[in-house]
């Protein structure tokens, strides 16, 4: 597999971050606050209209760090997180969107669950149908930017629709690039974060080098234990 890049890297970051809030075995529902929605919108290239609610990069990094620490009891790979977030924040042409309120949390939760169903559908046809259905429900309109990049917009002005436009756009690009199978969950059972495997081989199992080395260390300890060596 060659080029694994998609043009809307920020929207893809927002998509995986949103999918990461879904309940999974051992992890409860993780989407609760409008503030979280602001993070996804900002990463996806939307400018939330309320100066005080737009988090700075430092706030985003801190929030991501706190979340990972709460979940897994350790900080994430700092440099990587910051690079991702800076890339997202550097997205040009931020489109304005209203500040999310509590009702939007439920709407975005439903959007998240539908996107997960589409992107992880066993059958490709199911994925296509669900993405098309989401596009209709959120009144999405496909178009092109002045650089002829795919740009999906919504005819509705509410927060969930504007976010849906970005996330469905990123999802369509992912699928159209033949990369749907690369959206997976981290193979480390302590993490299980959704990620897009950008490795050259296409066989990447872990979301970050941190998770890969954690798994290696665990295997090493298990081997030492089985061989009766002192654990170190
Ligand atoms: Zn991971």
- Answer yes or no: is 230 within a domain: no
Question: How much distance in Å is there from the Cα of 97 to the middle of ligand 1?
Answer: 31
- Answer yes or no: is 216 within a domain: no
Question: How much distance in Å is there from the Cα of 170 to the middle of ligand 1?
Answer: 21
In the predicted model, what is the mean pLDDT of residues 66-79? 66
Q: pLDDT class for 7, splitting at 50, 70, 90?
A: low
Q: How far apart are CA 232 and CA 229, in angstroms?
A: 9
Contact 230, 224 (CB under 8 A): yes
pLDDT top residue among 19 and 87: 19
Q: What's the pLDDT score for residue 52? A: 55
Question: How much distance in Å is there from the Cα of 98 to the middle of ligand 1?
Answer: 32
Residue 42 structural domain? 9-182
Question: How much distance in Å is there from the Cα of 136 to the middle of ligand 1?
Answer: 33
- Answer yes or no: is 214 within a domain: no
- Answer yes or no: is 213 within a domain: no
Give the distance, in angstroms, between the CA of residue 90 and the centroid of all CA atoms in the same chain. 17
Give the distance, in angstroms, between the CA of residue 224 and the centroid of all CA atoms in the same chain. 36
Q: What's the pLDDT score for residue 32? A: 96
Question: In the block, which residue shows the tokens 């295997």?
Answer: 219
Q: What is the mean pLDDT of the chain?
A: 85
Locate 24 and state its tokens. 């999974």
Question: How much distance in Å is there from the Cα of 199 to the middle of ligand 1?
Answer: 14
Question: How much distance in Å is there from the Cα of 147 to the middle of ligand 1?
Answer: 34
- Answer yes or no: is 224 within a domain: no
Question: How much distance in Å is there from the Cα of 210 to the middle of ligand 1?
Answer: 7
Question: How much distance in Å is there from the Cα of 75 to the middle of ligand 1?
Answer: 12
Contact 102, 81 (CB under 8 A): no
Give me the DSSP letters along 77-110: -HHHHHHHHHHHHT-SSPEEEPPP-HHHHHHHHH
**Per-residue model confidence as pLDDT tens digits over 91-149:** 445 688 999 999 999 999 999 999 999 999 999 999 999 999 999 999 999 999 888 88
In the predicted model, what is the mean pLDDT of residues 17-42? 93
Q: How far apart are CA 176 and CA 167, in angstroms?
A: 14
Q: How far apart are CA 135 and CA 68, in angstroms?
A: 31
SS3 (DSSP) at 179: coil
Locate 119 and state its tokens. 């992107």
Q: How far apart are CA 6 and CA 59, in angstroms?
A: 26
What is the total count of domains within the chain? 1
């Amino acid at each position: 597999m060659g080029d694994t890049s998609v043009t809307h890297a920020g929207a893809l970051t927002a998509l995986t971050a949103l999918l990461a809030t879904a309940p999974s075995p051992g992890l409860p529902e993780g989407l609760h606050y409008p503030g979280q929605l602001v993070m996804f919108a900002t990463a996806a290239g939307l400018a939330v209209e309320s100066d005080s609610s737009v988090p700075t990069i430092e706030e985003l990094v801190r929030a991501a760090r706190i979340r990972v620490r709460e979940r897994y009891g350790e900080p994430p790979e700092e440099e990587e997180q910051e690079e991702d977030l800076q890339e997202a924040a550097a997205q040009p042409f931020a489109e304005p969107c209203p500040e999310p309120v509590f009702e939007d949390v439920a709407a975005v939760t439903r959007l998240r669950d539908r996107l997960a169903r589409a992107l992880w559908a066993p059958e490709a046809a199911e994925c296509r149908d669900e993405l098309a259905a989401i596009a209709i429900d959120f009144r999405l309109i496909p178009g092109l930017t002045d650089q002829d990049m795919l740009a999906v917009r919504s005819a509705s002005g509410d927060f969930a629709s504007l976010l849906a436009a970005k996330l469905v756009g990123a999802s369509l690009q992912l699928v159209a690039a033949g990369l749907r199978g690369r959206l997976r969950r981290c193979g480390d059972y302590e993490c299980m974060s959704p990620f897009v495997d950008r490795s050259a081989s296409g066989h990447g199992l872990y979301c970050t080098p941190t998770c890969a080395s954690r798994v290696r260390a665990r295997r090493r300890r298990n081997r030492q234990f089985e061989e009766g060596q002192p654990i170190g």
